[in-house]
Amino acid sequence: MRTEGRDSGAGDARAAARALHDRLGSWLRDAALPLWSQQGYDRTQGGFAERLTAGGAVSDDARRARVQVRQVYVFANAAALGWQGDAAPLVQEGLAHFLRRYRRSDGLFRTLCAADGSPLDERAFLYDQAFVLLALAESQKVLGAQAHLGAEAGRLLAAMHRLLKRTGPGYDSGLPERLPLLANPHMHLLEAALAWRELASAPVWTELVAEIEALALSRLIDARSGALIERFGADWRALPGIEGRLIEPGHLFEWAWLLQRCGGAAAHAAAVRLIGIAERHGVRAGVTINALLDDFSVQDAGARLWPQTERLKANARLAITQPQCWTAAVEAGETLLRYLAPVPAGLWYDRLTVEGTFIIEPSPASSLYHIVAACLELQSALAAATPGQVRSPRLPHPQ
């Protein structure tokens, strides 16, 4: 039974989370989304910019597949965050450009093109394919239910099964480099499968969620420590040496966020344990650091922007049922704001050094996906935790 003091503390933290959401939402609506919708999209050649400076896009950048589809995700969710700009053309044109320029003859998507759309790197990575699936699902938030996008997703998943699916659980990391097996692409494949499960009645998405959840619980998460390992050999055993001992606190939080969404007691228990490990060992002075080893000693005490967003997401979702987690969610959000505040409006610092200084460099577009996802999860968790409010419904899908 809760005491009055605990109820008051949770209420104060929830109020702080609402204020945090307002600040992040305002920054996105008033600064970041207007800037990246104008300077971050190439209206001459098509496609999204990799990086921006105060003077505009870095013009000589090659363009990664993952950035193109992550930016589709960003603008597909812009209206849900209150942005009044015209997101639909960016989503439609950005996705059409990607499907036209990055598709390989075998049905997978190449990893890199030049600014003019010409291929630069024909390799196909599982990581990129996962984000394509996610973008195809999320784009329907702004475009409405689109049968052809469901068909695109089905064709891509079929190509992945044909070319990347392993005999046992999981997928190879890519073509031609199939090994080592990697947890991170499977995490984003789970994210995409969850998005499609909400949209479509096709059992393939429910089955994919169940497969990756089982893989995480049985192979990726170390039974002894409860932490999630990143790199594996062909038998799903952690690689020898340092490479197989690496643990990324940001990914512990990110997996925890996704496992909570899977449903089920085992996934939820694993998520709570991952959050506990990351909070105890991966957060220093309110900042989520880059990497630990499997004995929880610090491997890399620097701090990218994205782990701060994953700490926010995981704790905000858990706070719906465990209100004490609002405190960690708010701390993560306040830390995130440090990466956003000192730079020109709509840009950010991406890397914080061990000495506590930010590295001055162009802002990478890839971070905007993380910031938008964090703000969306915070918004959703606050609505779920407030009586009488419900989350925004997802669009129906014709399948």
| DSSP β-bridge partners for residue 291 | 300
Cα–Cα distance between 150 and 398 in angstroms, integer? 9
Is 29 in contact with 81 (CB distance < 8 Å)? yes
The 10 Å Cβ neighbour count of residue 355 is 7
pTM assigned to the model: 0.95
Query: How many C-beta atoms surround the C-beta of residue 378 within 10 A?
Result: 27
pLDDT digits (tens, 9 = 90+) for 341-391: 888 999 999 999 999 999 999 999 999 999 999 999 999 999 998 754 434
Q: Three-class SS of residue 174?
A: strand
Residue 109, both tokens: 């998507």
Residues 6+ apart with CB under 8 A from 122: 104, 110, 111
**Where are the chain's structural domains?**
16-384
pLDDT tens digits along 49-66: 999 999 999 988 999 999
Mark out the alpha helices in 31-106 (DSSP H runs): 33-38, 65-76, 87-101
Mean pLDDT for 19-24 is 98
CB-count burial class (<10 Å; 0-12, 13-18, 19+) for 89: middle
For domain 16-384, give the fold: Glycosyltransferase (1.50.10)
Query: Looking at this protein, which amino acid is placed at residue 63?
Result: R
Q: Read off the tokens for 180.
A: 């080592």
Mean pLDDT, to the nearest integer, of 2-26?
A: 81
- pLDDT for 7 equals 59
Asked if the model's pLDDT at residue 278 lies above 50, the reply is yes
For residue 287, the surrounding DSSP H or E stretch is strand 287-288
Contact 57, 347 (CB under 8 A): no
Q: How far is Cα 20 from Cα 14, in angstroms, rounded to an integer?
A: 10
pLDDT computed for residue 114 by the predictor? 98
Query: pLDDT value at position 396?
Result: 31
Q: How confident is the model at residue 3 (pLDDT cuts 50, 70, 90)?
A: very low
What is the chain's Cα-based Rg? Answer: 20
CA distance readout (Å), 58 to 61, 105, 392:
6, 30, 36
CA 9 – CA 13 distance, rounded (Å): 6
Buried b (16+ CB within 10 A) or exposed e, 188-213: bbbbbbbbbbebbebebbeebbebbb
393 pLDDT band (50/70/90 cuts)?
Answer: very low
Q: What is the pLDDT of residue 11?
A: 83
Banded model confidence at residue 201, pLDDT cuts 50, 70, 90: confident
Q: Are 22 and 321 in contact, with CB atoms under 8 Å apart?
A: no
Confidence of residue 394 (pLDDT cuts 50, 70, 90): very low
| pLDDT tens profile 356-366 | 999 999 999 99
What per-residue confidence (pLDDT) applies to 392? 38
**Cβ atoms within 10 Å, residue 140:** 20
**pLDDT score of 8:** 62
